[in-house]
Amino acid sequence: MSTSSVTNAPSGDSPSVVIFSGGMDSYTLLHSLLQQVAETAESQAGGASQRNLVHALSFDYGQRHKKELVYAAEVCQALGIPHRIIDITAVNSLLAGSSLTDAIDVPEGHYESESMKSTVVPNRNMILLSLAIGYAVSIKAEAVYFGAHGGDHAIYPDCRPEFLDRMNAVSMVANYEPVRVEAPFVDVDKIGILARGLAMGLDYSKTWTCYNGREKACGKCGSCVERLEAFAENGVVDPLPYEPGIERPDIPPDAGTDKEAST
């Protein structure tokens, strides 16, 4: 079985939609789907027809790390796949209280910390999935793929298996055309996701993870901490540039004194 294998892979003859934030998890998922489509598509007419079977969908919901959308666009352009960035910033007036969208400091530390609950955007994934399902129906897609993973469960209720199971059940009956909701990484943590991507030869300098949308990644928010931990556990140095003066568990102690290096 391919290292990129995902549960309930695309059939190869109907489109699929992937919610692509520009981050590590959805980047790995996107490439996994493309590889699966290449392996299973009935048509051998050429790569372009196969790439058109995977449609990437990104959302601008007013996140302070909007920089991730730039990364998403660049990746999709390089891959030559259909990609749309949808502006839904108007919903922010209804979804107050998150440090990702409001004037609230992004907490530092690991995801399992209680303070990380401030990064929850109310009902975000239900909103994004609902829009993606509608898009899937309009292009006659068979499924929406979503990069929720096992490390998200502690903080984000809308990344847990029970939520995803129910969203899938609703999506199968909400329209005349049933659309599956697939979350292949729901039982995999970021360490495991990165391991899959590295096995595929993916370049993670093309992803953005930090919740602070500054020039370089902060290395301190929960998203950065989890990313660096994943690279350290996989024995690989993160190629993303980080702000100076942070702990870099991905860089071995004997790698020299310059622990601010990004490559």
Annotated binding site for Zn(2+): 210, 218, 221, 224
> If residue 182 lies in a helix (H) or strand (E), which one and from where to where?
strand 180-182
Strand, coil or helix: what is 98?
coil
List the binding residues for ATP: 20-30
Of 74, 66, 71, nearest to 22 by C-alpha is 71
Q: How far apart are CA 130 and CA 146, in angstroms?
A: 12
Q: Which pair of tokens denotes residue 246?
A: 């942070």
Quick one: which H or E segment has residue 76? Answer: helix 67-79
Residues 171 and 49: beta-carbon distance below 8 Å: no
DSSP 157: G
Per-residue tokens: 168? 């899938």
Give every strand in the sheet of 180-182, ordered side by side. Answer: 83-87, 54-60, 16-19, 143-145, 180-182
Is the separation of the CB atoms in 141 and 17 below 8 Å?
A: yes
Cα distances from 88 to residues 32, 131, 182, in angstroms, run: 27, 10, 23
Total count of residues recorded for the chain: 263
Annotated binding site: 20-30, 210, 218, 221, 224
Residue matched to tokens 């943590």: 189
Amino acid at 72: A
- Pick from 231, 223, 209: which is nearest to 68 by CA? 209
